[in-house]
Structure 1
Amino acid sequence: MAAPPFNAETAQQRVKKAQDLWNTQDPEKVSKAYTEDCIWRNRDQFFSGTDKIIEFLTKKWQKEKNYKLRKELFTFMGNKIAVQFWYEYQDAHDDMKWKRCYGLEDWTFSEDGRNCKRQMSGNDIEISENERWFKEGVDVNAVHISEQHW
């Protein structure tokens, strides 16, 4: 795992590594990429620490079924990376309707390369089956996302 300061190559690698990790939907595995006292803001929720991260992710993926995520590097500097992301899921709390979340994250990293702060802002929209990008078997990195969605 690359540690800061990041360059263009290591920042890009970090983004795709995070994408792949989150697509496992394994809260325990994902939590290992964060420091034990990592500070999170996820939309309107604020918390910190491994136990809270695992609890949050467990609830997230109980709700967000058939989750598929794509992250793209937005910018980086020193020990910080910003990403733009899109993910699709079926909402188990809303009659399994398909939804897509658009958003931005900013990450701050500790010297050991783990994330010590994560802030996420995102907006969900309902989509139809025909509007889905990340259908079963599709490589999320190969999907063309037009400028109107960036």
Structure 2
Amino acid sequence: MEKKLPLPPFNPETAAKKVRMAEDAWNSRDPDRVVQVYTEDTVWRNRAEFPEGREQVHQFLQRKWARESEYRLIKELWSFTENRIAVRFAYEWHDDSGQWFRSYGNENWEFNESGYMQRRFASINDLPIKETERKFHWPLGRRPDDHPGLSELGL
């Protein structure tokens, strides 16, 4: 099994790098790419869904990005320990009726010694917004390095 750098134990630099790498992967909206950082037997809680294993996570992500159009995400490191990272995040998206949302949440991650995420627990709330209230303005894909993060945006 190849290692997924950076590895635990985390320090401020490696924890922040792991968070940005996760943000970049999720902004690709590519389930095949995203699932590669999770253990084969990963355990999740995402809202009211509890996928287990890469295949269920893959199916979850396919459903998610089929309904969440124009998805753009920002993650921010909140805290970390040796093999755990806490993240706060927000993402903007719209549904098939054109209604925009900003979804806010927190995630708790736990990694194995090879750097794969074995547990992910997410709590998320959706706020309907007007298109004019959007704050995440970049082309779909990776957030540019010069785009403000959550703290800079006052989120």
Normalising TM by the smaller chain, what interval? over 0.9
Amino acid at match of 1:116: Q
Please state how far the C-alpha of 1:51 moved relative to its aligned partner: 0.6
Please state how far the C-alpha of 1:141 moved relative to its aligned partner: 6.1
Equivalence for 2:137: 135
Residues in 2 aligned to 1:44 and 1:2: alpha-carbon distance in whole angstroms = 30
Residues in 2 aligned to 1:136 and 1:145: alpha-carbon distance in whole angstroms = 14
Residues in 2 aligned to 1:140 and 1:133: alpha-carbon distance in whole angstroms = 15
Corresponding residue to 2:104 among 93, 102, 105: 102
Q: Tell me the secondary structure at the aligned position of residue 35 of structure 1.
A: strand
Residues in 2 aligned to 1:72 and 1:3: alpha-carbon distance in whole angstroms = 18
Structure 2: unaligned runs, 5 residues or longer = none
Q: Any conservation in 2 of the 1:88–1:132 contact (CA below 8 Å)?
A: yes
Residues in 2 aligned to 1:36 and 1:47: alpha-carbon distance in whole angstroms = 12
Please state how far the C-alpha of 1:96 moved relative to its aligned partner: 2.0
Q: TM-score w.r.t. structure 2 length?
A: 0.89
Q: Which has the larger share of strand?
A: 1
Matches of residues 11-50 of structure 1 in structure 2 within 5 Å? 11-50=15-54
Identity score, percent: 43
Q: Any conservation in 2 of the 1:100–1:126 contact (CA below 8 Å)?
A: yes
Considering Cα pairs closer than 8 Å and 6+ residues apart, tell me whether 1 or 2 has the greater RCO.
Answer: 2
Q: Any conservation in 1 of the 2:8–2:82 contact (CA below 8 Å)?
A: yes
Residues in 2 aligned to 1:141 and 1:103: alpha-carbon distance in whole angstroms = 23
* Aligned residues between the structures: 145
Structure 1: unaligned runs, 5 residues or longer = none
Residues in 2 aligned to 1:141 and 1:6: alpha-carbon distance in whole angstroms = 25
Residues in 2 aligned to 1:140 and 1:128: alpha-carbon distance in whole angstroms = 26
After superposition, give the CA deviation of every residue in 1:72-128 in whole Å (9 maximum; x if it has no partner). 000000100000000000112xx1211010000000001100100000001001111
Q: Any conservation in 1 of the 2:44–2:121 contact (CA below 8 Å)?
A: yes
Distance 1:85 1:72, change over 3 A: same
Matches of residues 1-150 of structure 1 in structure 2 within 5 Å? 1-92=5-96, 95-137=97-139, 139=144, 142-143=147-148, 144-146=152-154, 149=155
Q: TM-score w.r.t. structure 1 length?
A: 0.92
Please state how far the C-alpha of 1:69 moved relative to its aligned partner: 0.2
